[in-house]
Amino acid sequence: MHGVVLAASGAAVTDAFVELGAVVLVLAVLARLSHRVGLSPVPLYLLAGLVVGANGILPIRAAEGFAEIGAEIGVLLLLFTLGLEFTPRELTGALRRGARSGVVDLVLNATPGVLLGLVLGWSPVAAVLLGGVTYISSSGVVSKLLDDLGRLGNRETPAVLSVLVLEDLAMVVLLPVLGVLLSGASLGDGAVDVVVAIGVVVVVLFLATRFGGHLSRAVHSGSDEVLLLTVVGLVLLVGGLVQRLDVSSAVGAFLVGIALSGPVQERAAALVNPLRDLFAAVFFFVFALNVDAGALPPVLVPALALAAVGVVTKVLTGWYAAGREGVGPDGRWRAGTALVARGEFSIVIAGFGVVAGVEPDLGPLAAAYVLVMAVAGSLLARGRRAPARLRIGIGRPGADNLKKSGKAQDPL
Partner 1 sequence: MAEIDETELPGVGLRREFTTRGGARLGVITTRTGRRDLLLYDEDDPDTCRSVVPLDEHDSDVLVDLLGGDKVSGAASTLLQLEGLAIDWVRVAPDSAAAGATIGDLRIRTRTGASIAAVLHGDESVPGPGPEVVLPGGATVVAVGALDSVARLAELLGP
- The residues binding partner 1 (CB under 8 A) are 85-86, 90-91, 93-94, 139, 143, 150-158, 161-162, 164-165, 213, 262-263, 265-266, 327-328, 330-331, 334, 384, 398-399, 402-403, 406-408, 410, 412
Shortest separation between residue 174's beta carbon and partner 1, angstroms: 19
200 Cα distance to chain centroid = 22
Residue 186 burial (10 A CB sphere; 0-12, 13-18, 19+): exposed
| Three-state secondary-structure class, residue 337 | helix
* Cβ closest to partner 1, residue 262 vs residue 297: 262
Element (H, E) at 341: none
CA neighbours closer than 13 Å in the CB half-sphere of residue 246: 19
* Cβ closest to partner 1, residue 84 vs residue 288: 84
Shortest separation between residue 101's beta carbon and partner 1, angstroms: 13
* Cβ closest to partner 1, residue 61 vs residue 403: 403
Shortest separation between residue 402's beta carbon and partner 1, angstroms: 4
Shortest separation between residue 315's beta carbon and partner 1, angstroms: 16
* Cβ closest to partner 1, residue 151 vs residue 342: 151
Task: Provide the residue count of the chain.
Answer: 412
Q: Report whether 341 contacts 40 (CB < 8 A).
A: yes
Element (H, E) at 11: helix 11-37
Distance between CA 195 and CA 8 in Å, rounded?
45
Distance between CA 103 and CA 129 in Å, rounded?
18
Shortest separation between residue 91's beta carbon and partner 1, angstroms: 8
Nearest 5°: the CA angle 373, 323, 100 is 80
* Cβ closest to partner 1, residue 74 vs residue 257: 257
| Three-state secondary-structure class, residue 152 | coil
Shortest separation between residue 85's beta carbon and partner 1, angstroms: 4
CB atoms within 10 A of CB 148: 12
* Cβ closest to partner 1, residue 161 vs residue 251: 161
